[in-house]
Amino acid sequence: MRITIDRQAGFCFGVVSAINALEKELKKNDELYCLGDIVHNNKEVERLEQLGLKTVNKQEFERLKDCRIMIRAHGEPPATYLTAKKNNIEIIDATCPMVLKLQKEVRAGYEQMKTTGGQIVIFGKKGHAEVVGLVGQTNNEAIVVSDCGDLDKIDFSRPLHIYSQTTKNSEDYQNIINLIKERHLTGEVFVTDSICKKVSLRAKNIGNFAKTVDCVLFVSGQDSSNGKYLYNLCCKENKNTFFISDVQDISTEELRKFEHIGISGATSTPMWLMKKIEDYVLRELTA
């Protein structure tokens, strides 16, 4: 029996730099708030909470005063910065540089669309922090499209500019763009390719990894959109793919059927967790 960890798996640079910044701050101060989970992985959040991190939701944030808070890699809408200023809250801003760039582009696109009576469309998950941050750049006027069922919200007689949440997959984005172009009456459809290259590269690589092993333990938090997407790609290439969040989800009886076990994960899965899974499987199967 052998185990291989997918070396391409693990945090993206946006999450790595947010966590590094957080750990640095926690060394200086015992306590630091973070607006929302720093990463969509409960195990990593629990580890950081033990170091003094306090995760708060939007309602709790609005009640805070005179403290310090971290904005995670997904970014926030302008309203969050205004609330912080009003309540004397110092922001440690760990918004991923690529998300910041996209926010600026959406803001500029919104200003441009205003001059032509156009609309901004965001392809993404409704309520996802990054999408909320992007919609906030448009005075909350952008139309969020999660799937083709949302297309009726668009006025196809007016120009539009579409952007994608950085973690969506390219295939689904292209399908939505094609459907919009088919229905649009004037053809004034502007498209920005805003999918993170790290995510699209992972999508290409994970299938190759899944083919090289007999089964895959895919490690991810239940709430990670990127995790669900990569897990489905893994399943396409290797039907013996198991979605797990931690060791308690592993069936060692099932694993005994396989000679070569692969471990992979989402862009929000820490490498230490994949190593922990490796140690556990080694211990259990060789005992």
Residues of this chain that bind ligand SF4 (CB under 6 A): 12-15, 73, 96, 98-99, 166-167, 196, 198-199, 267
* 119 vs 164 by CB, closer to ligand SF4: 164
* 161 vs 198 by CB, closer to ligand SF4: 198
Query: At its nearest, how many Å lie between ligand SF4 and the CB of residue 44?
Result: 14
Query: At its nearest, how many Å lie between ligand SF4 and the CB of residue 169?
Result: 12
Query: At its nearest, how many Å lie between ligand SF4 and the CB of residue 210?
Result: 20
Query: Residue with CB nearest ligand SF4?
Result: 14
List phi, psi (to 5°) of 2.
-135, 155
* 96 vs 145 by CB, closer to ligand SF4: 96
Query: What is the DSSP code string of the chain?
Result: -EEEE-TT-S--HHHHHHHHHHHHHHHH-S-EEEES-SSS-HHHHHHHHHTTEEEE-HHHHHH--SSEEEE-TT---HHHHHHHHHTT-EEEE---HHHHHHHHHHHHHHHHHHHHT-EEEEES-TT-HHHHHHHGGGTT-PEEESSGGGGGGS-TTS-EEEEE-TTS-HHHHHHHHHHHHHH-SS--EEE-----HHHHHHHHHHHHHHHTSSEEEEE--TT-HHHHHHHHHHHHH-S-EEEESSGGG--HHHHTT-SEEEEEE-TT--HHHHHHHHHHHHHHHH-
- Of 31, 60, 130, 254, which is the active-site residue? 130
Q: Is 31 a catalytic residue?
A: no
Query: At its nearest, how many Å lie between ligand SF4 and the CB of residue 26?
Result: 20
* 113 vs 202 by CB, closer to ligand SF4: 202
H or E, element range at 5: strand 2-5
* 119 vs 267 by CB, closer to ligand SF4: 267
Query: At its nearest, how many Å lie between ligand SF4 and the CB of residue 241?
Result: 21
Q: Any idea which residues carry the catalytic annotation?
A: 130
